[in-house]
Amino acid sequence: MVDKISPETIWELSYGLKIGLVDRDRYLICSGDKKWVIYFILSGKVEISLYCIHERVMIDTLYKGCSIGTYSCLSGIPVEMTALAITHVSYYYLEFSYI
């Protein structure tokens, strides 16, 4: 989607980053959220799951360096997955309103 991002753009976006913490067994994102936020995991593990025919299906486990929410944030479509902290998680987040 993006071939190159200039150092100036990266510098500008870094001003909009905020830090957050979430405890174990708490949700970072719930299906249907309209937060328009991109999360960048700094530490901890987050379980990504979807609901298929009333059954929760675990898709992946994300960890340091992974991001969540980019597609929903850029497309304007509410998230369809759930992100549950399976350990204490620290993260940066960037709200779409800043972009």
Can you give the residue ranges of every domain in the chain? 18-95
Is the pLDDT higher at 77 or at 48?
A: 48
Residues 6+ apart with CB under 8 A from 88: 21, 22, 23, 24, 43, 44
| Domain 18-95 in CATH 3.40.50.620 | no
The arithmetic mean of pLDDT across residues 43-58, rounded, is 91
Question: What pTM, to 2 d.p., does this model score?
Answer: 0.81
Q: What is the pLDDT of residue 91?
A: 95
How do residues 20-49 score in pLDDT, each as one tens digit? 999 999 999 988 887 789 999 999 999 999
Indicate the average pLDDT of the chain. Answer: 87
| Burial track 54-70 (b if 16+ CB lie within 10 A, e otherwise) | eeeeeeeebeeeeebbe
